[in-house]
Structure 1
Amino acid sequence: MALLPILEFPDARLRTKAVAVAVDAITTPEFQTRLDDMFETMYDAPGIGLAASQVDVHERFMVIDVSEENDAPLVFINPEILAKDGEQVYQEGCLSVPGIFADVTRANEIVVRAHGRDGQAFEMKADGLLAVCIQHEMDHLDGKLFVDYLSPLKREMVKRKLAKRAKDAA
Structure 2
Amino acid sequence: MAVLPIRITGDTALHTPARPVERIDDEVRQLVSDLYDTMREAPGVGLAAPQVGVPLRLFVYEWADEDGQLFRGTAINPTLLISPPPVGEPDEDVDAEGCLSVPGERFPLLRSERALLRATDIGGNDVEIEAEGWLARIFQHEYDHLDGLLYIDRLAHPHGKAAQKAIRKQGWGSPGRSWMPGVDRLEG
Instruction: Verify same fold: TM over 0.5.
Output: yes
- State how far apart, in whole Å, the 1-side matches of 2:44 and 2:147 are: 20
Contact 2:96 2:108 in 1 (8 A): yes
Task: Quote how far apart the aligned CAs of 1:67 are.
Answer: 1.7
| 1:160 correspondence with 2:159 | no
Q: CA deviation at 1:87?
A: 3.3
Equivalent position SS for 1:77: strand
Structure 1 SS opposite 2:109: strand
Measure how far apart 1:155 and its partner are. 3.4
Residue of 36, 39, 47 corresponding to 1:39: 36
1:64-83 to structure 2, matched below 5 A, reads 64-67=61-64, 72-83=71-82
Instruction: Report the counterpart of residue 3 of structure 2 in structure 1.
Output: 3
Query: Does structure 2 conserve the Cα–Cα contact (< 8 Å) formed by 1:86 and 1:108?
Result: yes
1:12 to 2:17 alignment = no
- What is the Cα-based RMSD across aligned positions, in Å? 2.3
What fraction of aligned residue pairs are identical, expressed as a percent? 37
Residue in 1 that maps onto 2:139? 134
Structure possessing the higher relative contact order (Cα contacts under 8 Å, 6 or more residues apart): 2
Q: Which amino acid aligns with 1:163?
A: G
Query: Given the alignment of the two structures, is residue 50 of structure 1 paired with residue 55 of structure 2, yes or no?
Result: no
- Note the residue ranges of structure 1 that are not aligned, 5 or more in a row: none
In the alignment, structure 2 segments of 5+ residues that lack a partner are: 178-184
Render the CA deviation track for 1:45-68: whole Å, top value 9, x for unaligned.
000000001000000000001127
In the alignment, is the contact (CA less than 8 A) between 1:83 and 1:111 conserved in 2? yes
1:110-164 Cα deviation digits (max 9, x unpaired): 1111001111111110011110000000101101001112245223212123228
The answer on whether the counterparts of 1:148 and 1:155 sit within 8 Å (CA) in structure 2 is no
Equivalent residue, structure 2, for 1:91:
96
Distance 1:117 1:70, change over 3 A: farther
- 1:158 is paired with a residue of what secondary structure? helix
What secondary structure does 1:79 align onto? strand
Distance in structure 1 (CA, Å) of the matches to 2:134 and 2:63:
7
Change in CA separation of 1:110 and 1:134 when aligned onto 2, cut-off 3 Å: same
Contact 2:13 2:54 in 1 (8 A): no
Partners in 1 of 2:128 and 2:102 — Cα distance?
A: 30
Query: 2 CA distance for matches of 1:82 and 1:11?
Result: 27
Count of aligned pairs between the two proteins? 163
Correspondence for 2:60: 63
Q: CA deviation at 1:72?
A: 4.1
Amino acid at match of 2:144: D
Separation in 1 of the partners of 2:145 and 2:75? 13
Distance 1:126 1:85, change over 3 A: farther
